[in-house]
Chains A and B, each alone.
Chain A
Amino acid sequence: MAEANYPQDLLYHPEHDWARIEGETAALGITWYAQDALGEVVFFDPPAVGTTLVKDEPYAEVESVKAVSDVLAPLSGEIVEVNGDLAGDPGAINEDPYGEGWLVKIRIADPAEREALLDADAYAATLGG
């Protein structure tokens, strides 16, 4: 997607990660800003199902041709699913960062942690003009 876009139904971590909370689970990914700064993603090495994520800690890496970038967990939890399609098509992280480009799904460990995340407008405001 060519234009900056921050959907209203997601919660955002200031380090450019998003969470889509659905009941006790959440899908996680990186924001439009993050993928744009990184450039074409050429490799995503997912962590294993069952891995424990700690809020604010890196849990995976996405790589562009030029650089490696840590992905931080916006919420704590245990990975219940990883996006296996990204192995063959990491470019989905650029083309559809909130849809086909999701990275992992977790079982949320502490629902209260969501209070620390930003809504779309607050996140967009951190990016400045």
Chain B
Amino acid sequence: MATASSTLRRTALYDNHVAAGAKLVEFAGWEMPIQYGGVREEHMAVRENLGVFDVSHMGEIETAGPGAEALLQRLLSNDVAKLPIGGAQYSVLCREDGGVLDDLFTYRLQVDRYLTVTNAANHERDLAWFRTHAEAGDFGKVEVTDRIDDYAMLAVQGPRARELVQAISDAPLPARMTAATRRLAGAQVLVCGTGYTGEDGVEMLAAPRDAPILWDELLRRGAVPTGLAARDTLRLEACYHLYGNDLCTERGPIEAGLGWCCKEDAGFIGAEAVRAAREAASGGAGASGGAGGSSGSEGGVGEMDRRPEKLVAFTIEGPGIARQGNPVVGGGEVTSGTLSPSLGMGIGMAYVPAARAALGTRLQIDVRGKIRTAVVKEKPLYRKGT
């Protein structure tokens, strides 16, 4: 087995993963640790204590120059003008038709220097999109630089994460949704108060050569190495979107429940389509409509509902685990599904017709021929102390 292809990219922490007993798998062109010991153990370590993830496969794009803010305002769905120096902001990257190209965190490092973190599978496409628009638009002088080779990225997450990272930092850690440069274990690191697990913690961007020192120091102090499998169960309990599952070019941010990070008045590419989707979503059930995507014959929905579909969170009643691609009877599909280690039941997210998106609605999910009943639940599915 273990026939790692030489075409796969390895992070600066590859040797550390091997030493920690990782099971390595291909992920978006990278050879990444899926797990070390067991998924559930790693998951619970992050919920109860702390875990460290190597997420160096994620990409970075630097946008710098007097025109940087104007370019990002055009590309990113959020209001970039509101992003303070040292701040972090979540947004989506949309096409003209509102379809989502990626979801991104952007850090404003200096007055006119920004760093945007991309999903591994989308990095090249994002970079091309940034560059095309930088060249085509009239934003003033702006330079778009691929920084993927310049950064390793570690996430330390869990109730004890800050305390542990603070112990090796030369200055207080930045608060949630802010970023600052610190010296950690002697290395210069951009520390960001962000994460993807529903726990407190930080994400850290460091030079690849410094990453092994950081990793070893974190492990020595008790951080549990945590793989991508646990990252997925943690983020799904927290109802964070995963690009390629819950976000794609065929769907828009309003349907995905990401309207909060879309500021149409700021004039981003796709704003008009997003505005129309937002109006349609709040417009209520329309009077007439076509096929509407509902293929079921169960009726029950009195009048045709022209609102767009909606991404809902659900739990499965009884045994069974719904998975990505499982159809929802009567319209819709599961985009993420797993067994929740914290809750001990099947959980997931699904796009369903708006009429079936209300909390408490029962959904029938076709899990490879077996019908499982799911209930639409409030997001996030896991909350601290539940």
**How near does chain B come to A31, taking the closest CB pair, in angstroms?**
13
- Mask, A116-129, CB within 8 Å of B = 1, is 00000000000110
Question: Sorted from nearest, which 5 A-B pairs have the closest CB atoms?
Answer: A65-B39, A42-B339, A66-B229, A40-B38, A63-B321
Q: What size tier do the contact residues of chain A reach?
A: 10 to 19
Q: How far is the CA of A61 from the CA of B323 in the complex (A)?
A: 13
For B133, list chain A residues within 8 Å (CB).
none
For A39, list chain B residues within 8 Å (CB).
23, 35, 38-39, 229
| Selected contact of B338 from candidates A61, A65, A128, CB within 8 Å | A65
Say yes or no for A45: interface residue by CB 8 A criterion. Answer: yes
Say yes or no for B119: interface residue by CB 8 A criterion. Answer: no
> Given A39-B229, A45-B319: A61 and B40 within 8 A (CB)?
no
Residues of B within 8 A of A (CB): 1, 23, 34-35, 38-40, 229, 232-233, 319-321, 323, 338-339, 341, 368, 370
Q: A66, B232: Cβ atoms under 8 Å?
A: yes
For A42, list chain B residues within 8 Å (CB).
40, 321, 339
**How near does chain A come to B246, taking the closest CB pair, in angstroms?**
16
For A65, list chain B residues within 8 Å (CB).
39-40, 229, 233, 338-339, 341
Say yes or no for A68: interface residue by CB 8 A criterion. Answer: yes
Q: How far is the CA of A128 from the CA of B3 in the complex (A)?
A: 11
For B320, list chain A residues within 8 Å (CB).
43, 45
Say yes or no for A49: interface residue by CB 8 A criterion. Answer: no
A-B contact pairs, 30 of them (CB 8 A): A37-B1, A39-B35, A39-B38, A39-B39, A40-B38, A40-B39, A40-B40, A42-B40, A43-B319, A43-B320, A43-B321, A43-B339, A45-B319, A45-B320, A45-B370, A61-B368, A64-B39, A65-B39, A65-B40, A65-B229, A65-B339, A66-B34, A66-B39, A66-B229, A66-B232, A68-B321, A68-B323, A68-B368, A87-B319, A127-B1
Considering the complex, give the chain A residue whose CB is closest to the CB of B370: A45
- Mask, A57-72, CB within 8 Å of B = 1, is 0000101111010000
For B339, list chain A residues within 8 Å (CB).
42-43, 63, 65
Residues of A within 8 A of B (CB): 37, 39-40, 42-43, 45, 61, 63-66, 68, 87, 127-128
For B23, list chain A residues within 8 Å (CB).
39
**How near does chain A come to B225, taking the closest CB pair, in angstroms?**
16
Considering the complex, give the chain B residue whose CB is closest to the CB of A66: B229
Q: How far is the CA of A68 from the CA of B232 in the complex (A)?
A: 16
**How near does chain A come to B47, taking the closest CB pair, in angstroms?**
14
Q: How far is the CA of A120 from the CA of B190 in the complex (A)?
A: 53
Q: How far is the CA of A68 from the CA of B164 in the complex (A)?
A: 37
For B368, list chain A residues within 8 Å (CB).
61, 68
Q: How far is the CA of A64 from the CA of B227 in the complex (A)?
A: 15
**How near does chain B come to A36, taking the closest CB pair, in angstroms?**
9
For A43, list chain B residues within 8 Å (CB).
319-321, 339
For B34, list chain A residues within 8 Å (CB).
66
Q: How far is the CA of A128 from the CA of B229 in the complex (A)?
A: 26
**How near does chain A come to B224, taking the closest CB pair, in angstroms?**
16
Q: How far is the CA of A45 from the CA of B319 in the complex (A)?
A: 8
Q: How far is the CA of A66 from the CA of B321 in the complex (A)?
A: 10
**How near does chain B come to A59, taking the closest CB pair, in angstroms?**
13
**How near does chain B come to A61, taking the closest CB pair, in angstroms?**
7
**How near does chain A come to B357, taking the closest CB pair, in angstroms?**
26
For A87, list chain B residues within 8 Å (CB).
319
Q: How far is the CA of A128 from the CA of B368 in the complex (A)?
A: 32
Q: How far is the CA of A85 from the CA of B40 in the complex (A)?
A: 20
**How near does chain A come to B322, taking the closest CB pair, in angstroms?**
11
**How near does chain A come to B377, taking the closest CB pair, in angstroms?**
19
